[in-house]
Structure 1
Amino acid sequence: MIEPRLSAEMTVQSLIRKIGQEGGFGTVIQRGDRISGAILILCVENGTNLKVLEKMPTLDGSSQWQQIWPQDTEKEEEIEEYLARRRRYDPDLWLIELDIPEAERLVAEMTSGG
């Protein structure tokens, strides 16, 4: 049986709202498919310490947020190339940036269960 899930657009709106309530800032960089587009999150803290998260399928059929890119500042070109490639091959991709204090806590919350 297929489990019901939030649309990609609703997930993005919820994340941005949650970040705003916690004193951070969220913005959509690229809109994807409203229903089922993949979502990449650029998670930063005061514009630094970039981490890229994506919801990935697990072995039991559910999905979980996983950190797919820990970014070093000297490798900024690599992340730009990676994001350009992903956008080129997946035009339905959502790309959002969340800037929040204690970004590490948000990453841990998202990757641990939801």
Structure 2
Amino acid sequence: MHEFDPRMQECLENCLVCYRTCLSTAMSHCLEAGEEHTEPSHFRLLVACAEICRTAAHFMLIGTPHHRHLCRECAEICGECAADCERIGDMAECVEACRRCAESCRQMAAWE
């Protein structure tokens, strides 16, 4: 297995946790809770967040330097997702995963 810098390893893990958490939250919690949880803009944001996290992790795994561009975008989307999940409420796990991923991705985007 490819050896990763500890900072990249942490970012990769945070992206994968956020991917899993956002997708699971959207497909289980939000669909079951209904109301604000299934507003199209909120639901799309959760799914977009999951996908950008998955893609950023994929780019890190394949070792392309373009991961920094994706991490910059990932940080922005994760920040938006955390704020929206917090606004709606009852999604603390998703808020925390998004915030942790956003911070890791901001650091990775700035990493030379």
TM-score when scaled to structure 1? 0.28
Structure number with higher strand proportion: 1
Q: Which has the higher helix share?
A: 2
Q: TM-score, normalised on structure 2?
A: 0.29
